[in-house]
Structure 1
Amino acid sequence: MGKQENIFLFVPNLIGYARIILAVISIYFMPTNYKVACSCYVISALLDAFDGHAARAFNQSTKFGAILDQLTDRCGTMSLCIALSNFYPKYMFLFQLSCIIDIACHWIYLHSSILQGKTSHKFVDMSGNPIMKCYYTSKPVLFFMCAGNELFFASLYLCHFITGPIIAGHGLFKLLCWFSSPIMLVKTFIS
């Protein structure tokens, strides 16, 4: 009988735990310290790319890791939307709707992937939905959509505290919101 590996100590899962710690720090500081909150949020989001690379490099892809990754992503975005609901109460319904769509659609997709016996929600049936095929099989498309979505919410968050450098008469963070809002809307539509 061979030695059983502890999947909870796999490198990508350790990265996932670091992401959770950074997300909790970010959430704690969201109402009061945008520098700490944004730094931890962005680092946690960037580590999302590294856990996938580590899983492939070390051959440590697991269903637990896929769920941990998805759950961390969803909780981070949802927490940011909760903060935004406080900063922009007029748009609370839209932030709530965004959370519901994001969580429900990802949960359904991840759960159906597991029921189909897939080790990752990113394995797409090539004969299936062409939008989902492009979304999950093209790394540049997936990165662009996820980064654009995060950029929208993070820029909107920063707009509450600072304008950023003025470009063409507008603050940088407002411009980033305008630029990334169509990406966020398309990603929501795909969900």
Structure 2
Amino acid sequence: MSDFLNGLTLEKDIVNSLKNNKVINLTRPYLEFGIRKYKEKNNIQDKDIFTYVGSCLYIHLENGDIIGFETNNVKDSILVWFAYKDGIQQGSNEDMEKIPYDHSKYGNRERWTGLINEHIHSIKVFTRKTPEGIKSFVDSNEKAILLESTNCSLLLPYGGSFEYRTVMPILKLEEAPDGYFDGMQVIEL
């Protein structure tokens, strides 16, 4: 993704879309080569591939919006964008093959049942500001995003020590490693 994308704290339209529409699907880009290479380096079960492989997630909403989340090492943040707005594609790379959360081989349907067909009622961004980041971009150092429905939480952390080496796993709040949030500030949106 390009460096001109913003962190979630600067994207009020995306926050509103996430809060005002039910989540109908979660997907990640599907790259068979990447999955195969990841499995060679990690002793990971197939059903955990969706959770751990990749640095990008798409949240599909009932109104036709698809929100993209991706890590960015220039801003040292998770950046967001409308991949689709009101069902209309917004970027040229958004039509690549995707793997859904409930993929028969690489997904885990039960893991995200509490989020699908639910509204997100709480959005929190966790930041760990650095002097360099503040000088460069106002939305730098947005290190984790927490989305909560009534029955489920979805945590998108950028970096950290997880069960498998990864850039941006898709976890539940209770799966965050001990101390992950130490030194972070919370911004509620």
TM-score for both structures, normalised by structure 1:
0.30
Structure whose residues are more often strand by fraction: 2
Considering fraction of residues, name the structure with more helix: 1
Task: Report 1 or 2 for greater relative contact order, CA contacts < 8 Å, sequence distance ≥ 6.
Answer: 2
The structure that has the greater radius of gyration is: 1
